Structure 1
Amino acid sequence: MAILGGVVAILIYKSLDNNAISLMPDSGEEVEMIAASNSIPFPVIGPDFVESADKSVHAVVHIKAQWSQRTQTYDNFFDLFNDFFGNPNKQYYYNQPVIATGSGVIISSDGYIVTNNHVVQEADHLEVTLNDNRSFEAKVIGKDPSTDLALIKIESSGLPTLEYGDSDKLKVGEWVLAVGNPFNLTSTVTAGIVSAKARNINILGAKSAIESFIQTDAVVNRGNSGGALVNTDGELVGINAAIASNTGSYTGYSFAIPVNIVKKVISDFMDYGEVQRAYLGITFREIDSKFAEENDLDEAYGVYIADVLDGSGASKAGLKTGDVIVKIDNTKIISKSSLLETIGTKRPGDIVSVSVVRDHKLEEFEVELKNISGNTEVIKNNKIELLGASFVGLSEEEKSELNINHGIKVVELGSGKFKSS
């Protein structure tokens, strides 16, 4: 067995003269370092992250999610007898414990914490550790696969929080901090700049997924999911969610969910227990230079309306197939992602001003947004009105006891077909 030893050398440059500086590393072998220049360096003043880091580290937590995964195996001990008598191997099922970790951000002093849906979506048990090493059990308040956001709650008070910023005001090139607690030690801070906005990386497989990520070059690794992206004022501007990597480790780009989407989704969880998702009522496509030329469009930006759904808010407002959406309220629409982000911050019943280019002219329409059912009513958590019942998914233990792989259970009966039957 080969034993590899690591030697760490600390390199120091002396800038005022050409004298060599000798350092003694752990091996005892002398290492000579030559100064790169004899010129006097011009002082460089960089951004100061101390205040924003101090505001944010105490509001970022470590999350440990535990669940059981039902696994199938075979009894191979009597393979010889099974083969001889023609009996197949007997199948067995057992529950294999699974543990995953992530980060979260405290958004209220009484213990509400925002994180990623993929951190908690399978969890039967959640444990939250604060930056001061106190630990609490947590319960899930709401989960939204479409945005990869979740809200959990611990029972405590007087907790440090992060104030919401405004992700719409965030500029490309602006300095940001990524704060996470991946190792259950204390929160860690890395810095970078906003590399791009409204990124769609096709990572969310959920129906009606909203992808409009803030892209940064701040270092984010495994376990940082659900952590905070903050500006230099210490305000929350995003929730870290993904990295672009072929190895599973950071390779240059990370992606965060804009805080304006976070604010809306979390508010829905608190007020309704379910996300109140708004729709324009159109199908659309992005515009490139080729499509713009083929369809006699003035510019290759905006979103092209491919169809308008009957009875939708867009239909009633007068939007038509072939219109190009270039602005909603005061937000310029340049892509699918920017459209989804803007509408993703609205609720059914909200009225938005939609600016479109039609026949080379700019026109404006007032559109009332609706929900997936085509109305503006509040959608309640786990409620199917026609059946008159509320449902929850089965835990892995319940599936194992019932010897089934899938199922839901009724937790509440109201007026409807279930009760009448």
Structure 2
Amino acid sequence: MKKTEHNLRVPDIHAWGLPQGTKSSNIIKLMLMSGVAVVSLGGCSFLSARTFENQSNNPQSEIATQNTNNNSPALTTPAISSSSATDPNFVVAVVQKVGDAVVRIDASRTVQSRRLPADPFLRRFGNPGLSQPRQRVERGSGSGFIINSSGQILTNAHVVDGADSVTVILKDGRTFDGKVLGEDQVTDVALIEIEANNLPILPIGNSDTLQPGEAVIAIGNPLGLNNTVTSGILSATGRSSSEIGVSDKRVDYLQTDAAINPGNSGGPLLNSRGQVIGMNTAIIQGAQGLGFAIPINTVQRISQELITKGRVDHPYLGIQMVTLTPEVKSTINKDARNRLNITANQGVLLVDIVPRSPAFAAGLKSGDLIQSINNQPVTKIEEVQKLVEKSQIGIPLQIQVERNGQVISVAVSPAPLPARTQG
């Protein structure tokens, strides 16, 4: 880690992630900005290649979003008879009513590479005459669901990221060329469109009122097996991105034990009434019964911006931070290289400040300990992440920090997250 004003060092922690072999029981999670780090996750746009696997058949994945734009075709809700998890056939009833609105999405992209000379000497000096360009086509498959009858469909951004062509296949077998209207890498939400009318759509639920234990249904195309239905329960809500190992995302995930496999990404997670409550998007490799979905309320918010602006502007501060724990405090105070003595027992410690960022311009410094934002106490990086994500660009945040034993207030105006950090 590079030196800062306080020469702050956190042993065994990399600036952009965690060292290999670090156990989850004692790791110190570092997150850049207020939740979106410039992190390379094994070359994959969504999940850590070391710990996670994508929900598609190639380095693409999948999420969902809903059309709430008043200028867009009206979203109609199909009539769904009251079904309940107490009915042994409630899954059948839901699938019969809404299954036609779940689609398969095939994407392909052309990747160019250069064939290096066999001779190490020539490779070293890059002889262009012996380095022949070549192309290969990468193909992947995921899921999505229709949000209005005129052809708008939600899926994960990583399903269509960099795609040269997108094909949408309906349950009835019809095939359409898809056009990407917008995508947001920070939440992994994408919106695509096909030229069609009178399409079936999915009704939208409310993910803010969900409780663990509720019955849920997943529909998608895992491993190329179209129109696959699985069911289970909602295992947990509010799983932070850092908890599941994707700290460059700004999402609090739903957890489910409904079977999810590569290809399910972008497909809907439904409640017992057939309403979409989330978008299946992640699994933990090697685990069983650990699937994750983006809450539909988050998807709706992101999709609204994609519809109106074609992009999503996320508030950005430009800080790298770590939750202060007794272990972190002890480690830093014992390291003679740190010109810093931490006396507080809790808070969010600033490890580094991005040059020319809003935090840098406002005067935040490495070694500052955030204690509150707009008078709301914070003790974890996840709390800072949520408050900044809910803030407005250009509207100052009053951040109270402890610096050299004194508490001071610093006004930081969030800026739009730089595009280069969204990849």
Q: TM-score, normalised by structure 2?
A: 0.58
User: 2:154 is paired with a residue of what secondary structure?
Assistant: strand
Structure 1 residue 151 and structure 2 residue 186: aligned? no
One-letter amino acid matched to 2:381? K
Number of the residue aligned with 2:142: 102
Number of the residue aligned with 1:188: 229
One-letter amino acid matched to 2:393? P
Number of the residue aligned with 2:108: 66
Number of the residue aligned with 2:369: 322
Moved more, 56-65 or 166-175: 166-175
Report how far residue 138 of structure 1 moved.
0.2
Number of the residue aligned with 2:210: 170
1:111 to 151, 162, 183: 151
One-letter amino acid matched to 2:235? V
Answer yes or no: is the 8 Å Cα contact 2:319–2:359 preserved in 1. Answer: no
Any idea what the Cα deviations from partners look like across 1:82-110, whole Å, max 9, x if unmatched?
Answer: xxxxx999444333333210001222222
One-letter amino acid matched to 1:218? A
One-letter amino acid matched to 2:301? K
Answer yes or no: is the 8 Å Cα contact 2:180–2:191 preserved in 1. Answer: yes
User: Which blocks of at least 5 consecutive residues in structure 1 are unaligned?
Assistant: 1-43, 80-86, 359-363, 374-378, 383-421
> Looking at CA atoms only, which structure, 1 or 2, has the larger radius of gyration?
1
Moved more, 320-329 or 225-234: 320-329
One-letter amino acid matched to 2:229? T
User: 2:269 is paired with a residue of what secondary structure?
Assistant: strand
Number of the residue aligned with 2:180: 140
* Identity level (%): 30
Number of the residue aligned with 1:198: 240
One-letter amino acid matched to 1:167? S
Distance 1:54 1:355 in 2: 54
User: 2:416 is paired with a residue of what secondary structure?
Assistant: coil
Match runs of 1:330-341 below 5 Å:
335-337=380-382, 339-341=384-386
Number of the residue aligned with 1:265: 302
User: Which blocks of at least 5 consecutive residues in structure 2 are unaligned?
Assistant: 1-84, 120-126, 334-341, 404-408
Distance 1:225 1:53 in 2: 18
Distance 1:45 1:160, change over 3 A: closer
Answer yes or no: is the 8 Å Cα contact 2:234–2:254 preserved in 1. Answer: no
Report how far residue 124 of structure 1 moved.
0.6
Distance 2:273 2:383 in 1: 25
Any idea what the Cα deviations from partners look like across 1:53-78, whole Å, max 9, x if unmatched?
Answer: 445422211001122233545899xx
Distance 1:357 1:89, change over 3 A: closer
Report how far residue 129 of structure 1 moved.
0.8
Structure 1 residue 125 and structure 2 residue 165: aligned? yes
Match runs of 1:197-346 below 5 Å:
197-200=239-242, 204=246, 209-246=249-286, 251-279=288-316, 283-290=320-327, 303=348, 321-325=368-372, 335-337=380-382, 339-341=384-386, 343-344=388-389
User: 1:58 is paired with a residue of what secondary structure?
Assistant: helix
User: RMSD of aligned C-alpha atoms?
Assistant: 4.7
Name the count of aligned residue pairs: 312
Answer yes or no: is the 8 Å Cα contact 1:178–1:228 preserved in 2. Answer: yes
Distance 1:111 1:325, change over 3 A: farther
Answer yes or no: is the 8 Å Cα contact 2:349–2:370 preserved in 1. Answer: yes
User: 2:219 is paired with a residue of what secondary structure?
Assistant: strand
Distance 1:94 1:349, change over 3 A: same
